[in-house]
Every structure is written in structure tokens, then in C-alpha cells.
Amino acid sequence: MQAAIDAAVSGGERTEADPALVLILPGDYTEDVALKKHVALLGLDRLNQFSTIIRGQMTCSLTLEGGVREKTFATVAGLCIFPPGGKTAGIYFTGSNSQKLILTDVAIEGSVPAILADNTFTVGTGTSQILVTDCRLRSTNVLEPALRVKSGAVEANRTDLWNRPPVGATSSPNVMVLGPSVAQSQTCTAALTDCNIEGNVRIDSSLSTAIAAGSIGLSLLRCTQFIINSTAVPIRFVLVNPNATAGVTALAVVLSVFRATAWTSGTAMIFGNAGGSIPVISRLNSFRADTGIIVANLTGGSAVNTVMGAV
């Protein structure tokens, strides 16, 4: 596969006006893959067919074109990625150039994060972005989330995000972690629409030096989230560590369904630890625990329920 990509750019990197397509036939490919801008990878898989498999890491660190994100992108469709243990991620979205990665019908599963986004977009114009549609991101390791976003924006539609614990576990592991691992001001956001989430979400803005409202954020629209929970040692659906500035960390939860195996009536589903206040824009969400509890508070701590009005 890498040989085909290299052949596509043997005469120089492709441009927006001169793209290339690499058609990947069904098979089992054991290799790491480095993406190139305007070289699209097209496999023949639909989600869950597992007939076109890459056993390795896919890295996206593109050469900037035209100084802007919208001219600097790669496309991957119809593949399964099984990263071996010891790799950084199934897809490692990195570098400093502003860039975009478009994923469709891609299943990523392994003991490391399915996607790790830490591109800093310090060169060029535009927040680096990953667009994920009709995909599955699954971690098989309770210590690693399926999606780890340190900077940039991830937008997912009709996508499964799973981190299912072993049989007998009393709580769900992290399925998604948002927030920088070093002091930086870059935005770090995830927007999920019509997605299925299994596991809890952790947002940590404590190292962010951003001051603009919503720089660190999560949006759930028509999503479902399931967690395994013990009332003796409870967890949250979303746990947030904000930075000191109010509003820098913000959430939106609309038309979404939350389910837990057990719950204490009135407990907050989204909880903010000490720090700047966290607005949680909400409208028409629902909750139920398998034990029959149907009463929960959406927010608690520094997270503040900010209800949308009807229009």
C-alpha cells in the first residue's frame, strides 16, 4: 500500500488540481502507512466486513498547500485498521501544518487509541480537522481511549465510539479524552452527531492557555451514551477538569439519550471539577438506568446547565 502511495507522488507531491487515487483490493496488509495530500485511499470494505485490513499505523502529517487547510487534505475510505500494541495510534494525526483528514467507512480497533489528534496547526490558516463518517473507533484496552484529541477539531457523524470493559467490570473506562497534554492555546473540540458512545468521556482543560469561549468543547447531537456504573463507586458520563477561565470549556448536549447500568437518583451526569464555570447547552435529553432510576441532574459542580429556549 505504501509503495502505491509513493508511486503516486514519484513525480512530486500531488496538488488540488492533480489528485491521485489508490485503489486497495481486499487483503491483509502488514505495514505502516504515511498519507500524502491529495492521494486518496479507497478500499472496498463496508463497515464490519473486515476484508481489507491494515495491520499497522496510519500517519497523517501533510505538506501544506497554498497556506490553507482546505487545500491540504487526505481521504481514506473502505478500510479496517488494526494497529499492533506499541504503536502510537491506529491513525496518528500530527505535525504543525494546518490540514484535514476525511474518513468514511473506516473501522479502527486495537489496544492503542483508534485516533490520536495532536496536530498543532501553527503553520498555515485554519484549525486542523478530522471528518469521520460511518466509522467505528474501538479501543480494546481499558487504559486507552478510542479517541484522544489534544488539539484541533474532530467532527463525527454516524460513528461508533467504543471502549467496552471486560465481563464483570463494575465501571466503564474512558472512551474519549479531550484536552492538551502540554500548555498550549490551540482549540480542542469534538462534535458528534448521530453517534453511539460506549464508555465515559473525560475533558481536561487544565493545561490549556486559551482564553476564548468554547476553545475546549464537546457537542453531542442525537447521540446515545452507555456506561457501566456502580453506585458504590460512581463515575460520570462526562467528567471535566476546566482551566481557570469561565466559558473556555463548553459543552452542548441536545436530543441525546443516556443509559447507565445503575444510578443514584439526582446525581449529575456531567460534572465539572473546580475551575472556571462550564456552560452546558442542553435541550430535550433523556436518561434511564437499568435499575429503573429515571431521575438524574444533567450537570453538577462547575458545569452549569444552560437550557436552550424553544423557537
The arithmetic mean of pLDDT across residues 17-32, rounded, is 97
- Band (pLDDT 50/70/90 cuts) for residue 211 is very high
pLDDT digits (tens, 9 = 90+) for 270-305: 999 999 999 999 999 999 999 999 999 999 999 999
pLDDT digits (tens, 9 = 90+) for 172-202: 999 999 999 999 999 999 999 999 999 999 9
Compute the radius of gyration of the chain from its Cα atoms.
Answer: 20
pLDDT for residue 310: 81
pLDDT for residue 128: 98
Strand 115-117 versus strand 73-81 pairing type: unpaired
pLDDT for residue 16: 95
The arithmetic mean of pLDDT across residues 20-28, rounded, is 96
- Band (pLDDT 50/70/90 cuts) for residue 255 is very high
Which residue in 197, 170, 198 sits closest to 262, CA to CA? 170
Question: What residues form DSSP beta bridges with 178?
Answer: 149, 203
By residue count, the chain amounts to 311
pLDDT for residue 47: 79
Opening angle at CA 229, ends 108 and 269, nearest 5:
90
Separation of alpha carbons 179 and 171, rounded Å: 22
pLDDT digits (tens, 9 = 90+) for 60-94: 999 999 999 999 999 999 999 999 999 999 999 99
Separation of alpha carbons 103 and 61, rounded Å: 15
Opening angle at CA 114, ends 180 and 272, nearest 5:
40
Cβ contact 33:4 at 8 Å: no
Instruction: Assess whether pLDDT exceeds 90 at residue 111.
Output: yes
The arithmetic mean of pLDDT across residues 30-58, rounded, is 94
pLDDT for residue 46: 85
- Band (pLDDT 50/70/90 cuts) for residue 122 is very high
197 φ/ψ sector (left φ>0, alpha ψ -120 to 50, else beta): beta
Instruction: Assess whether pLDDT exceeds 80 at residue 48.
Output: no
Question: What residues form DSSP beta bridges with 197?
Answer: 161, 225
- Distances, alpha carbon 289 to alpha carbons 29, 173, 225, 284, 285, in Å: 43, 18, 12, 17, 14
pLDDT for residue 53: 96
pLDDT for residue 213: 96
